[in-house]
Amino acid sequence: MGRQGTNDGKGYFLPDSSILRRVQHERLVGLFYGQRALCIGALAPLNYVGTSEHTHERTMPWKRLARTGKAFETVFFGSRAQADDVIARVHNLHGRVNGVLPEDAGAFPAGTPYSALDSDLMLWTVAVMADSAQRFYELFVRRLSLDEREGLWQDYVRFGELFGMSRDTAPPTHAAFRTYLEAQLASGRMFLTPEARQVGYQTAFKIPMPRSYQLAKRVHDLIILGSLPARVRDHYELPYTRAHAFLFALTVFVVRAARRTCPSRLRRGWNTHFFELIARTERWRIEHGKATPQLWEREPATEMPALRT
C-alpha cells in the first residue's frame, strides 16, 4: 500500500517537518477544504459515479462525510498505528469499489470501467484536496513560499501513496501539479452528471448546521463560493457578481483579522467536534421530521438563498 518507515508512534506527518500537517492543523483549513474538494471533485465522472454507486449511507450523507473528515485527520495528525488502522479500513472498502459507467457521462461512454484503486483516479482526489488546503491556508493565514508549496505537494503525494496511489502517477513538482490541475479543469473530461451537480452543490452549500449557526453558515457559503475556480462555478452555473466578489474579499479580510486575535488552541487542532456537530444536526433533523440536505433529493442547483447579496 505504499507505506514507508516503521510504526514508531510518531505519525506519518511530523510537526517539525511536514508542511501538510502545518497547513491542515489550521482549523479554518480543516473546516473548509473538504467541501471545496468534494465540490470540485464531482466534476470527474469516473470518480463521482464510482463513489456514488458504492455508497451505503445515502440517507445520512453528512454522517459519512464527517467520518471521512475524522479519518483523514487521523492520518494527518495521529500516530502511525492510528493512521494504519484507518488506511487498512479504507483500502478494504476501496477494494470493493469497481465497475463500469451505467450510462454516458460527458467524454466517457457507458461501459467505461472505474476502480477506486486506479492511481489516475486517486491522483484527482489528492489534487483537489491539496489545492483546497493551499487555497484556504493562503486566504486565511499567509501566502506559502515556493519551497513550502513544494513541500505541501510532496506531502500530499505521500498521503496518496499511503492509500495506494503510485508516485509515478503524480506530477513530480508543485509547478507540474498546477499544470496538471489547470489542464484537467480546462479539459473535456470534466462533466457533471445530474446527480453529481446536485450532490456537489449540496455538499458545498447545504451543510446542516444548528439554527444558532445560520449567520456563520451564510459566511461559510460565501467563502466556499468565492474560493472556487471560475471554471468550476461555470460548470455548476453558480452566479458570481461584483457584489459577491466584494463581499468575499471583505469577509476574508475580517476572518483573517479575527484569526490573529484568537489563541493558538482555538486556531489550530483537530476538527472532530465540528464534524460530529454536523452529523448530530443531520440526525436530529431526520429524527424530528425537519428539512435536511439529503443528497439524493433533486433541488434546483441555482437556488442559493444563502448567497443573496
Q: Measuring CA to CA, how many Å separate 3 from each of 24, 66, 149, 254?
A: 20, 25, 23, 41
Measured between alpha carbons, how far is 302 from 138 in angstroms, rounded to an integer?
28
3-state DSSP percent of the chain in helix, strand and coil, to 5: 65, 5, 35
Say if 225 falls within a structural domain.
Answer: yes
Q: Does the pLDDT value for residue 67 go beyond 50? A: yes
Model confidence pLDDT, tens digit, residues 170-228: 999 999 999 999 999 999 999 999 999 998 998 899 888 888 888 888 999 999 999 99
pLDDT above 90 coverage of the chain, percent: 67
Q: Does the pLDDT value for residue 5 go beyond 90? A: no
Question: Stretch 61-67: mean pLDDT, rounded?
Answer: 82
Give residue 127's pLDDT: 98
Lowest average pLDDT, out of 15-19, 39-43, 146-150, 270-274, goes to 270-274
Q: Does the pLDDT value for residue 53 go beyond 90? A: no
Of 2-11, 43-52, 222-231, where does the model show the most confidence?
222-231
Higher pLDDT, 273 or 167: 167
Say if 46 falls within a structural domain.
Answer: yes
Say if 260 falls within a structural domain.
Answer: yes
Model confidence pLDDT, tens digit, residues 112-161: 999 999 999 999 999 999 999 999 999 999 999 999 999 999 999 999 99
Say if 6 falls within a structural domain.
Answer: no
Give residue 288's pLDDT: 78
Sign of CA dihedral 221, 224, 226, 228: negative
Say if 96 falls within a structural domain.
Answer: yes
Cβ 171 vs Cβ 25: under 8 Å: no
Region at 118 (left for phi over 0; alpha for psi -120 to 50; beta for the rest): beta
Give residue 266's pLDDT: 87
Distance, CA of 240 to chain centre: 21
Say if 8 falls within a structural domain.
Answer: no
Look up residue 220 and give its three cell numbers: 461559510
**Domain that residue 121 falls in:** 19-304
Measured between alpha carbons, how far is 73 from 41 in angstroms, rounded to an integer?
19
| 99 three-class SS | strand
Say if 116 falls within a structural domain.
Answer: yes
Give me the torsion for CA of 154, 235, 33, 309, rounded to 10°.
140
Q: Does the pLDDT value for residue 298 go beyond 50? A: no
Q: Does the pLDDT value for residue 303 go beyond 90? A: no
Cβ 271 vs Cβ 183: under 8 Å: no
Say if 54 falls within a structural domain.
Answer: yes
Work out how many domains the chain is built from and give that number. 1
